[in-house]
Amino acid sequence: MDQIIWLISVPLVAGVIVYAAWILGGRKSPRGLGRIAAMVAVVAVAWTLCEAVDLFRSLPEGKPGFWSGEGEIGLGPLTLALRFRADGLSALIVLAASGIALMVTLYSVRAMADHDRAPVYYAWVLWTLSAVTAAALANTFLVLILAWEVATVLLYLLIGLGKPQSRAGAMKTFAMLGFADLCLLLGVLLLFQAQGGVNSLLLMGGVQAQATDRALTVVAYLLMAAAALAKAGAMPLHTWIPAASEHAPTTVFALLPAALDKLLGIYLLARITFEVFAVNTYLASMLMIIGAATILLAVMMAMVQHNLKRLLSFHAVSQVGYMVLGMGLAASILAAGRAAGGLTAIQQGVAAIAFCGGLFHMLNHAIYKCTLFLAAGSAERVAGTMDLDRLGGLARVLPVTFICCIIAALSISGVPPMNGFVSKWLVYHGALGAGTPLAMVCLVAAIFGSVLTLASFVKVLHSVFLGTKGSAAPAGNERKENAPMAIAMVVLALACVFLGVWGGLAVDRLILPAANAVGLKTAGISATPWALELGDAGAAGLWQPSTASALLVVGVVIGLLVYLYGRAMRVRVVGNFVAGEDASSDELWHVSGTHFYETIRRLPALEWAFGDASAGAFDVYRLVGRYGDVLVQRLRGWHTGLVAVYASWVIIGLVVLVAVLALG
């Protein structure tokens, strides 16, 4: 219990100290105070990461988890319980959140150095880490909801630290996530009713999973799943992410919507799907459809974007689809086994593989998406814009950023041996193991989504780093990188490589304990640093990342030797004939990558869809606001000011109330 309290309280107290220093300093942020705040934040987050590693290592091996902390306040039928629990899943979330926060905070030392409210930024980042830790370790829904809401408010505040235009995106974020919080609260209340009034409203452990065979439990699950999907950013509850991305500070998006919010959303989805509820086949199929649709629709929107941060934000939405699809596949296999009277060893193994794929992709996405946003921040710092039409030729100016961006782009595209491939490969195997027609359709959608992702990042690499220099690119080839920003990106890029090359080790040490924590049977899965196998269930080896990586390295070395041999050959070099035009201007001959896939936008079958999507026709926030305004205007029209009209409404309301009470 003491370790959990320290994990929550240290970043909380450090944030209070930083914020108090800013208040006492006259609410001004001289560079000295900003540097002190940055150092305090780095130390506090680094300490939290060390404690998170120790917490993860101290989990009892072979057991689903352990409970810590009990403090109760009786409120009649309900008991407010301050309970926390550390197990493989919650410890993984805390470990990933603190690791990402450390890299972003280190990057921010230079990136936020000139911001006039840098101490406030660091205080809010520390409080966010504290809220995420409390939500992940909470063992009651009451504590979870409180920490969840605090994280939502802090996200709103952090987005508002950007340009003046960021306020609209911040308000949209707060409105949509506030609606998600309301859904979570309503779902918890319905679950409380379905359980017959369990006093402490335990989130995990000690309470049998609720079967989704009644309307009450189905509605409770749907409400709580909507909250989780909105937090993670799955379609159609995703529109707050692109809206807030354009004008928010890049470090905020690297930390929150690209990483921490995804962690919390998928964490809650995993808890309610496999531990709180026993999901039926129809609800599992719903998750699979949402996952596959999110993958395809979001990546197609990403392909036609002209703003780098909006493009990355749509990719952040698309990648959530793989996580949701993995969870849906696992839930579908388990539901089919329960309906048949019992799970076979193969079904248990395949369900665990699908779940591990979705959860591992959550971790991988936090790493490579954070890298991509930090790389975008470096490009914006040098060029002053995120407009892909005006970027280009930054590879020589930002060589470390360029290399890290290539690694992260390969990771998000699912190219071996990067970490994104390992997690997607597990999801693919889960779909193959499920064997249903819907699973096969989702498999095709997931693979096609990876292909489109790779195509999209060819456009990104060309538009930002390759080709001739755009109008916003700095003159000359002088390197403009600094150590803190580069170190953060390099560490994250190396993590992408490590979790891919030694994918078996990562699954064995990080993901399988999390699967055990929600009750999935993983005994048949053999994970070593060199291979992933499903031996006990009779399946062949899943993936041998180390062997494949060695072969890829050999291929790269051979290609490098061929390249060097070609460079050593003596060839005649002549200038290009440009019909007498001046070829010295990069701007004159600059080819933007934004038009690579304009053909897709103009296809007859897709032109209307892209047009409507760009206009916000599928935006839940916009639709609710539009029709909500119509309803408000109609209600205003009914308020005529006549006493007889108001008396009629009162009588109608009383009749409805009496009818409801009589039927109840």
- Write the pLDDT tens digit of every residue in 351-381: 888 999 999 999 999 999 999 999 998 988 8
Residue 243 lies in a domain: no
pTM of the model: 0.86
Kindly report which listed range (132-141, 313-322, 393-402, 613-622) carries the lowest average pLDDT score: 613-622
Residue 538 pLDDT level (bands cut at 50, 70, 90)? very low
Per-residue pLDDT tens digits for 67-79 = 555 555 555 555 5
Q: What is the CA radius of gyration of the chain?
A: 26
Q: What single-letter DSSP state applies at residue 389? A: G
634 shares its domain with 489: no
Per-residue pLDDT tens digits for 303-348 = 888 888 889 988 999 999 999 999 999 999 988 888 887 777 788 8
Of 45, 56, 54, 50, nearest in space to 11 by CA: 45
429 shares its domain with 311: yes
The CA distance from 170 to 327, in Å, is: 30
Enclosing domain of residue 473: 279-513+585-618
346 shares its domain with 491: yes
Residue 395 lies in a domain: yes
Sorted by sequence, the CB contacts under 8 Å of residue 321 that are 6+ apart come out as 234, 235, 290, 291, 292, 293, 294, 295, 296, 298, 446, 449
500 shares its domain with 645: no
Q: What is the 3-state secondary structure (H, E, C) of 467-526?
A: CCCCCCCCCCCCCCCCHHHHHHHHHHHHHHHHHHHCHHHHHHHHHHHHHHHCCCCCCCCE
624 shares its domain with 504: no
Residue 169 lies in a domain: no
Residue 411 lies in a domain: yes
Residue 303 lies in a domain: yes
The CA distance from 259 to 299, in Å, is: 18
Per-residue pLDDT tens digits for 141-162 = 888 888 888 988 888 888 888 7
Residue 249 lies in a domain: no
647 shares its domain with 596: no
Residue 300 lies in a domain: yes
The CA distance from 556 to 47, in Å, is: 39
Return the pLDDT at 364. 93
Return the pLDDT at 372. 92
640 shares its domain with 612: no
Mean pLDDT of the chain: 81
The CA distance from 624 to 636, in Å, is: 18
φ, ψ of residue 230 to 5 degrees: the values are -65, -40
The CA distance from 422 to 507, in Å, is: 9
Residue 202 lies in a domain: no
Residue type, 27: R
384 shares its domain with 398: yes
Q: Is 463 helix (H, G, I), strand (E, B) or coil?
A: helix
Return the pLDDT at 540. 46
Question: What average pLDDT does the segment 627-654 reach?
Answer: 71
Please give the structure tokens belonging to residue 467. Answer: 């080709």
Return the pLDDT at 474. 80
How many CB atoms within 10 Å of residue 238?
Answer: 28
φ, ψ of residue 305 to 5 degrees: the values are -80, 150
Instruction: Rounding to the nearest 10 degrees, give the CA dihedral for residues 242, 247, 249, 255.
Output: -10
286 shares its domain with 417: yes
625 shares its domain with 504: no
Whether residue 174 is predicted with pLDDT greater than 70 in this model: the reply is yes
The CA distance from 568 to 24, in Å, is: 65
624 shares its domain with 489: no
φ, ψ of residue 514 to 5 degrees: the values are -70, -35
Whether residue 127 is predicted with pLDDT greater than 60 in this model: the reply is yes
Kindly report which listed range (35-39, 412-416, 477-481, 507-511) carries the lowest average pLDDT score: 477-481
Whether residue 537 is predicted with pLDDT greater than 50 in this model: the reply is no
Residue type, 588: L
Q: Is 543 helix (H, G, I), strand (E, B) or coil?
A: strand
Please give the structure tokens belonging to residue 14. Answer: 């450090």
The CA distance from 335 to 327, in Å, is: 12
Return the pLDDT at 539. 47
318 shares its domain with 462: yes
Question: What average pLDDT does the segment 10-39 reach?
Answer: 81
Question: What average pLDDT does the segment 270-286 reach?
Answer: 89
Percentage of the chain surpassing pLDDT 90?
Answer: 22
Whether residue 29 is predicted with pLDDT greater than 80 in this model: the reply is no
Per-residue pLDDT tens digits for 53-102 = 888 888 776 554 555 555 555 555 555 667 788 888 889 999 999 999 99
Per-residue pLDDT tens digits for 195-231 = 766 544 666 555 567 777 788 888 989 999 999 998 8
**What sign does the CA torsion over 354, 359, 361, 362 have?**
positive
For residue 278, give the H/E element and its range.
strand 277-278
Whether residue 581 is predicted with pLDDT greater than 80 in this model: the reply is no
**Structural domain count, the chain:** 2
